[in-house]
Amino acid sequence: MTMDYTLGFEYTNWSFYVEVILSAIQICGVIFNGFALILYCNYRELRTRPNYLTASLIVADLCFCAGCLLVHIFNFAAGAAPGVTGWDNIKCQFIGVWIMTTDASALGSLAAIATERWFTIVKGITLSKWQVISLAAGVWLWGGFMSGLQYSFGGHYVLQASASYCVGQWHGHEAKQLIFTLLTFTTIVGTYMWFVYVYWSIYRFVKFVHARMQSALDNGGLSDTTVATDERDFQIRLAIKSAILVGVFTICWTPEHMYFLYEMISGRPSPAWLDSVGVIMLVINAAVDPLVILMLDSRWKRASRSILRLPEPTPRDVNGKLAK
């Protein structure tokens, strides 16, 4: 083992209440993601090919919130309080491997969603059911591979004490750990670059389609403007929905990825504030993802209203909102 743990960390008032806040957010994350997963399982109209990948993201967020919350519950049950020591070696290892698995799976799920959108919109190729399922399976296999690699190398990813109470130093300069560092860097940076390429391609394609349709309309080549407008709006909606999810993830996870890569590449502990911001942001992201999905897709909205037995908005309600 190349990771040395400090197991006697003492809670300060601030750090203890940070854990309480994180636990509250994780409870919300379990509820929201669990609700979204119930919707997906109970409503056939949600089980479309693109939503297989959305469900993969929901499961990753649910696993992340539930796993981290379980560790917090163990800690509180052991009498965690300001001035009392918390965590132990096993919990530190668990939380590190768990974050790696769910991070890689959530990041991979978003990359798979972007890939599906790219094929559908830019290439005009509709992926089959089994191709989409294979994408989702590959995402989780990669997450499991990365976490297993991390654990087997002995250099467990351990958050430092500022918000998560595990103190450790990453010695990332052994050959086997350099391999893990390189794979992690490639996964994170490569995926972000893929996001940029995909959504820039979609943006250019939508602009091209719009310009072509407008030209055809101006020249009398299209008599039905509704068809042209609906097609353009459909393309835009597909791009915007997934791009917003990616944007939320990127904003929330970038501090944690910066922290992670800094420690692995430099071999030194990162600034405590970066750890604190990173942990809080990634927990918030896991909790709000299902809310973003519900807000972006009318099918998810209808399903949630149905299961909660809420009335559908009347045309008068819709018109009133539009008027405002």
Longest dimension (CA), the chain: 77
- pLDDT bin (cut points 50, 70, 90) of residue 283 is confident
pLDDT digits (tens, 9 = 90+) for 7-47: 345 556 666 777 788 889 999 999 999 999 999 999 988 88
- What residue spans define the domains of the chain? 5-311
The Cβ-side half-sphere exposure at 47, using a 13 Å CA radius, reads: 9
Domain 5-311, second-level architecture: Up-down Bundle (1.20)
CA distance 58 to 115: 17
Residues near 55 by Cβ (< 8 Å), separated by ≥ 6?
A: 37, 40, 136
291-313 pLDDT, tens digit per residue, is 988 888 888 988 998 998 888 76
**DSSP state, residue 128:** P
Average pLDDT taken over every residue of the chain? 74
Tokens of 46: 């949600």
User: How many Å separate Cα 295 from the centre of its chain?
Assistant: 16
pLDDT for 6 beyond 50: no
Q: Residue 159 pLDDT more than 50?
A: no
Which amino acid is residue 173, in one-letter code? H
Query: Residues 58, 106: contact at Cβ < 8 Å?
Result: no
Which two three-digit tokens encode residue 324? 């405002």
Q: Which residue has the higher pLDDT, 49 or 184?
A: 49
pLDDT value of residue 17: 75
Residue 217 pLDDT > 50, yes or no?
A: yes
Pairwise CA distance, residues 284 & 305, whole Å: 24
Q: What is the per-residue pLDDT across 107-141, written as a single tens digit (0 to 9) for each? A: 888 889 889 888 888 888 888 889 999 999 998 89
- The share of the chain scoring above pLDDT 70, in percent, equals 63
DSSP class of residue 224 equals -
